[in-house]
Amino acid sequence: MTDGGGRPGGVEMIIFVLNSGSSSLKYQLFDMRSEKVLATGLAERVGQPSQVGRLVNRPTGGAEHVLEQPFSGHREALDCVFDLLLEGTLESIDQIDAVGHRVVHGGESFTRSVRLTPEILEELHGLSHLAPLHNPANVTGIRACFERLPSAAQIAVFDTAFHSTMPPVSYMYALPYHLYTDLKVRRYGFHGTSHQYVSARAIDLLGRAAPSRIVTCHLGNGCSMTAVRDGVAVDTSMGMTPAEGLVMGTRCGDIDPAVLTFLMETQGWGPERIDELINKESGLQGLSGESNDMRDLTDLAAQGHERAKLAVDVFCHRVRKYIGAYAAEMGGLDAVVFTGGIGENSSVVRAKCCDGLEFLGVELDDELNQDRVRGERDISRPGSRARIMVIPTNEELVIARETARLAAEALVGG
């Protein structure tokens, strides 16, 4: 069986998967013998000592525990997380064998997961200019874990890594070449662990690794698509930053870059204002003027709200355009995979995204596409040349598997 993240299978390890944001910590604790999730949780308003933070810990099969208090930083929040895990989930923090850190940007230096050392951490910190919002936060979380769990292996798993197989024709911008050599301005892509997981599952369901031409659509708050040929990423819709490509909750995706210089000239807007515009005020929110939430918008559109309908239509039109582009790049299409909060749950969006693609062999079964069913499923008509699949993503599991694999290698290698 082909599993996302290369399943090591039945490893005796407890793994803590951590996603450190600038003001939040999201985590899952895994028992890798059965890949069982022992607990999940989220700490918010971290590093804002004047505010009351909130930590919710959910042990599997146990009662949810909510803690409300200020968290001066990641280290303090992490201490509270471990205190809660010691109330019934773990007997000792030393049971944690390894920590898998989700790291947003690996640049060109990190094309696969890596065991963290103080030197590598410095190198990672040096990539902060590529992801100024995310990488410094990731590094802060990693430092806190080094302090708190000094004997556990610390592994970084990158959002960009799965896309590192893209050829130059996919990743180069048509800008002066020295911007690439001097400043590493190029396309990298994100959501890599999700595209990796769902494409591997799709290959399993197709029953063949090669030849296979799969388009994966991760449609959540952030949205991206990847063209995966024979299990390898050959193109993806996000670029140097997550702002490129599809329409998202509050990001615009592809636009004419001269729109931005026009706004800078006519409105006197500087880089911060432009950044707000393209990342926080655009997308579904900007178009509809109502919400960045697809559920609200499909409901409003059904009630005749014109701009909500426009937002949903522009969103789906962009997805359809990328499916066509990626089919052209790969010389055909064997499967389209939908994942993420929207991709997994919205039959309306899936239907609109596939509409008119029958010429590519994409034929949706309206009955199978209904939302009553949950979980992994094929929603294409029996005769459809390309399969259409819904595959719930599991980014944390990919990180846990990668972490177990590297931690086991480190043990073998001493």
- What residue ranges bind ligand ADP (CB under 6 A)? 220-222, 249, 293-295, 298, 340-342, 345-346
Measured between alpha carbons, how far is residue 18 from residues 99, 127, 343 in Å?
A: 7, 19, 24
What is the smallest separation between the CB atom of 58 and ligand ADP, expressed in angstroms? 16
Structure tokens at 44: 């918010």
Structure tokens at 213: 């031409």
What is the smallest separation between the CB atom of 348 and ligand ADP, expressed in angstroms? 8
What is the smallest separation between the CB atom of 208 and ligand ADP, expressed in angstroms? 28
Neighbours of 331 (CB within 10 A): 9
CB closer to ligand ADP, 122 vs 371: 371
CB closer to ligand ADP, 57 vs 346: 346
- Non-local (6+) Cβ contacts of 375 within 8 A are 390, 392
Name the residue number minimizing CB distance to ligand ADP.
341
Tokens 């598997």, residue located: 401
Q: What single DSSP character describes residue 95?
A: G
CB closer to ligand ADP, 278 vs 311: 311
Q: Is 216 helix (H, G, I), strand (E, B) or coil?
A: strand
Residue of 31, 79, 94, 159 marked active site: 159
What is the smallest separation between the CB atom of 52 and ligand ADP, expressed in angstroms? 23
What is the smallest separation between the CB atom of 145 and ligand ADP, expressed in angstroms? 22
Going by DSSP bridges, is the β-strand pair 114-115/98-103 parallel, antiparallel, or unpaired? unpaired
CB closer to ligand ADP, 324 vs 341: 341
Q: Does residue 3 carry a catalytic annotation?
A: no
Sheet containing 114-115, strands listed edge to edge, beginning at the edge strand earlier in sequence = 65-69, 53-59, 36-44, 24-31, 14-20, 98-103, 153-158, 114-115
CB closer to ligand ADP, 76 vs 395: 395
Return the amino acid letter for 203: I
CB closer to ligand ADP, 141 vs 222: 222
Inter-residue long-range contacts of 287-293, CB under 8 Å, 24+ positions, other chains counted:
287/247, 287/311, 287/314, 292/221, 292/249, 292/250, 293/249
What is the smallest separation between the CB atom of 71 and ligand ADP, expressed in angstroms? 21
Return the amino acid letter for 140: T
Catalytic residue ranges? 159
